[in-house]
Structures are given as structure tokens and as C-alpha cells.
Amino acid sequence: MMSMGIGKNIRYHRDTRLGWTLEQLSVASGVDVGTISALELRDSKRSMYFAPIAKAMGLTIDQLQADPTDWTRNQAGEAFAGTPDNKSNKFPRVVGTAKMGDKGYYLDLEGGDGYVEFEAEEGSIAIRVRGDSMFPAIRDGWYVVLEPSGVPTVNEYVLVSFKNGKKMVKELLQFRDDCYILMSVNGSERITAMKEDIHDIKAITAVVPPSKHKDI
């Protein structure tokens, strides 16, 4: 059951998850700024504008209607294979190993085991990184942590999932109306990622050393 109206869900995804202004969502969706503002203020259950707004934010209508907390937690779990139980809900479960290519792509996930002893919010996940493409910022064998409510922030690391299936760990440099400006973690390459090509973008909230890994 939804705990929030659809207008409030729009505001959550626009402002909290994506960090967009009304103007940015208007450009991405083709819906007038005033209309979006009115939808956010009202507890509307139906509107012809929900479909283009959802599409612009990388959502289906069902996802737009879902409680944002449940949606974020489900997305974190669905993004990677494996869902081992945590010894403690406050510690991120390890859901896989990311093999990093020369440009920071996720090439494969081999499953996960245990958890990392790093206090985070319930529903958080951790991914072990293999490879030296992000050295020295993120080292081979370390873990990146993603929390359900993490908000992508300029000058911090993010996980960008593209509609073609590629996933990249990058530094977020700038939001623009139609794109994100990203930098490779080792600082060697600047990338312009068009929003129309992106499925989702998640904040990496911590980088944790391998000594923090614990078996269940």
C-alpha cells in the first residue's frame, strides 16, 4: 500500500533521488514546469502526465506509484545477483564481486558472501571490487557500499546503470538538463552521459577495506 501520494512520489524521485530542479524534469519529460509543480502539491491518483514524467526519471508507472522507500530498497537488491542474509541488518551484505575494466565498467558479478562490518542503514549492500582501473581511489579487493536512501551528490562517487546494461563507477561532476558530467575514478577520462541513456544512478556512500569483511 502506498504511504505517499503520486505527486509526493514525483517530488521524492525528482528532488531527493535525482537532485533535479523542476526545470530539469520539465526539460527531460516535456511537461510544463507549472504542471509538474501542481502535481507535486496535489495528491492526484491519475494524470496523463505521469507516463512521460516516469519515463524521464527512468521509472515505470508502477515504480512511480510505489512507496519510494520500498522502491529504493528493491532497486538496490535487484541491481546485483545474490541476496545472502546479514548477520546484522545494520551491516551491508556482500552481493557480488565487480571485475573492473580499463574504463571502470562492471564486467561481471560472481555472487557474494558475508557482510562488511560497517554500520549503514538497513537494506544496504556491498560490492567487492577487483582490478586496478580505479587505483588509488578504490583499490583491488576493497568494497563499495550503497545505501537505499543515498542521494547522488556532486564531487562524490556514483554507480551509473545504463539502459544497455552497462554499469560504471564514476565521480559525479555536474548535473545538466539533459546529461550528467562524470569523471573516471582515477581521473583519466571525462564522460558526458545523456540522461535518456541512463536507467538509474545511485550514490556510493562508503569505500570499505577488505579487513572489514566477515563471513556469516
Look up the CATH number of the domain holding residue 15: 1.10.260.40
Considering the domain architecture, whether residues 131 and 82 belong to the same structural domain is answered as: yes
Co-location of 34 and 61 in the same domain: yes
Strands 93-100 and 125-130: parallel
**Residue 168, pLDDT score:** 79
What CATH number is associated with residue 140?
2.10.109.10
In a domain, 123, yes or no: yes
My answer on whether 83 and 104 are in the same domain is yes
The model's pLDDT over 70-92, given as tens digits with 9 standing for 90+, comes to 655 555 444 443 434 444 457 88
3-state secondary structure of 158: strand
pLDDT for position 169: 83
List Cβ neighbours of 138 (8 Å cut-off, separation of 6 or more).
129, 144, 157, 169, 185, 207
131 and 90, same domain (yes or no): yes
At residue 74, what are phi and psi to the nearest 5 degrees?
-65, -40
Same domain membership, residue 115 and residue 49 = no
Which residues form the domain of 44? 6-66
Cβ distance 61 to 54 under 8 Å? yes
- Asked if residue 111 belongs to a domain, the reply is yes
CA 33 to chain centre: 25
Indicate whether 49 and 78 sit together in one domain.
no
What span, in angstroms and rounded, lies between the C-alpha atoms of 25 and 15? Answer: 10
Q: Is residue 1 part of a domain?
A: no
Looking at residue 182, what is its pLDDT?
92
Mean pLDDT calculated for residue range 107-133: 78
Residues 96 and 55 reside in one and the same domain: no
Residue whose C-alpha cell is 526539460: 27
Q: Which segment of 140-149, 157-166, 201-210 scores lowest on mean pLDDT?
A: 157-166
Asked if residue 49 and residue 102 are part of one domain, the reply reads no
In a domain, 140, yes or no: yes
For residue 144, the Cα-to-chain-centroid distance in whole angstroms is: 13
Please determine, for residue 214, whether its predicted confidence score (pLDDT) is greater than 80: yes
Would 136 be classed as within a structural domain? yes
Please tell me the predicted confidence (pLDDT) of residue 85.
44
Looking at the predicted structure, is the pLDDT value of residue 4 above 70?
Answer: no
Lowest mean pLDDT among 25-29, 41-45, 123-127, 167-171: 41-45
Residues 60 and 78 in one domain: no
Last residue of a domain, one of 15, 47, 66: 66
So what's the pLDDT on residue 25? 87
φ/ψ of residue 196, rounded to 5 = -70, -20
Q: How far is 22 from 6, CA to CA, in rounded Å?
A: 16
Q: Considering its fold, how many domains does the chain have in total?
A: 2
Domain assignment present for 52? yes
Give tens-digit pLDDT for 95-118: 877 776 555 555 455 556 789 999
171-180's contacts with Cβ under 8 Å and 24+ in sequence apart are: 172/201, 175/19, 175/20, 175/24, 177/23, 177/24, 177/27, 177/28, 178/27, 178/28
Q: Are residues 119 and 90 in the same domain?
A: yes
What is the rounded CA–CA span in Å between residue 180 and residue 192?
A: 6
Asked if 107 and 209 sit in the same domain, the reply is yes
Looking at the domain assignment, is residue 190 inside a domain?
A: yes
Give the DSSP per-residue string, 55-100: HHTT--HHHHHS-HHHHHHHHHHHTSS--PPPSSTTSPEEEEEEEE
Supply the pTM of this predicted model.
0.56
Q: Identify which of 15, 20, 17 has the alpha carbon closest to the alpha carbon of residue 177.
A: 20
Q: How many helices (H) and strands (E) does the chain have?
A: 6, 12
User: Are 176 and 78 contained in the same domain?
Assistant: yes
